[in-house]
Amino acid sequence: MSHSVQLDGIGMTFGSTRAVGDVSFTVQAGEFFSILGPSGCGKTTILRMIAGFLEPTEGRVLIGGRDMRGLGPNQRPTAMIFQSLALFPLMPVWENIAFGLEARGMGRAERRKRAEELLRLIALEGYGDRMPGELSGGQRQRVAIARALAVEPGVLLLDEPLSALDLKLRQHMRAELRGLQKRTGVTFIYITHDQSEALAMSDRVAVMSNGLLQQVATPRQLYDNPATPFVARFVGETNAITGQIGAVGGGMARIDTAMGPLRGRADPHLAVGQKATLYIRPEALMPGTGANTLHARVSRMDFEGAFALVHGQFPDGAALTAAVPSTRLSDAPAPGTDASFFFAPEHAVVLADA
């Protein structure tokens, strides 16, 4: 039932603005796939092209191997959940859920029965005759999901559906969406600007910036092996130390910085002398000195329970963030002092500057 989605060099140009340029990737059938990026990066445009609300100006979309060119949104095996949910306010909940079945010509009694089954699935039994306006935000959310699932879509498209909810409900709905996806086996394509949402829920994530695809990878790969400076900075917290490539070899590179030579994992194609940046995660920095040592002036320490975030400045003015585990809090430098941090080279990534 669930379908794969293949984007084959799609692009979208509005007037003189290029919203999306030459994006290709394939979403496997049954996968929970997220498209992550800041607002205006083109992710919603991509979703609307998959749904058929927009016809790409270049390239094509294939769903389940079938070319979708020339097919409108009502002819595609997709269903979409909108940011605003777009429930029909003048129809009771059950008619909302059964709307897609009505469009397929199913009889009223059968529609009602199917709607009740879906209400059970989303734990809203007995709410069928309420109006959408009488439900809470989380309940409306679930009705929107049920309405989309009712048509048994091969692909479910979700356009930041959780962004209007408060934090607690959002976390709850994340788990619920993920569970629903596993139970139904439907391909989910999920749009978000919230990187923790994308990392927590997805099998794979595509990161977008300025209409261009940056990287497609599992959340783990994205975090550990960012392919571009944008991904390194956008996904998770990071410390960026600029310099020049000094040596490359064995999957590692030496970068010469204002704080001396530092080593990290690197692409073997980097050229000596090239301007580059070393990215290192806050939790990979340890107080003390070692083979790769950084110096910084500590300005502030925020205790967050499991760890403390140490903030400061490197000599070149760049910001330092280090996460010191609570168990090692006695090693943490005091604010206002100069401190040293070291890291293992395999925890750092060196990328050529864009």
Partner 1 sequence: MTADRIFRGLFALYLLAFVAYLFAPLAIMSAAAFNTSRFPTVIPWQGTTLDWFSAMWADAAMWQALWTSAIVAVLVAAVALPVGTAAALVLTTLHARARSVAYAVMVSPLLTPGVVIGISTLILWRQVGVGGGIVLIVVAQTTFIICYVMLMVMARLQRFDRTQEEAALGLGASRAMVFRRVLLPFLRPALLASGGLAVLQSVENYNTTLFVRGFETPLTVFIATKVRTGLTPAVNALALVIIAATVIGAIAWEIARRRQVTARPRS
By CB under 8 A, name the binding residues for partner 1: 51-53, 72-74, 78-80, 82, 84, 86-91, 99-100, 102-104, 131-134, 147-148, 151
User: Which of 225-242 are b and which e, b meaning 16 or more Cβ less than 10 Å from the residue's Cβ?
Assistant: ebbbbbbbebbbebbbbe
Q: What are phi and psi of 130, to 5 degrees?
A: -75, 165
Nearer to partner 1, 121 or 157 (CB): 157
**89 sits in which H/E element:** none
Number of residues in the chain: 354
Minimal distance in Å, beta carbon 52 to partner 1?
8
State the minimum distance, in angstroms, from the CB of residue 81 to partner 1. Answer: 9
DSSP one-letter code for 150: H
Beta carbon of residue 80, minimum distance to partner 1 (angstroms, whole number):
5
Between 153 and 312, whose beta carbon lies closer to partner 1? 153
The Cα–Cα gap between 193 and 229 comes to 17
- DSSP conformation letters of 37-81: --TTSSHHHHHHHHHTSS--SEEEEEETTEE-TT--GGGSSEEEE
- Residue 126's SS3 state is coil
With respect to partner 1, which residue has the nearer C-beta, 27 or 278? 27
Q: Compute the least distance from the CB of residue 74 to partner 1, in Å.
A: 5
25 versus 82: smaller Cβ distance to partner 1: 82
In the bound complex, what is the minimum distance in angstroms from residue 82's beta carbon to partner 1?
5
Using the minimum distance from each CB to partner 1, give the nearer residue, 102 or 176.
102
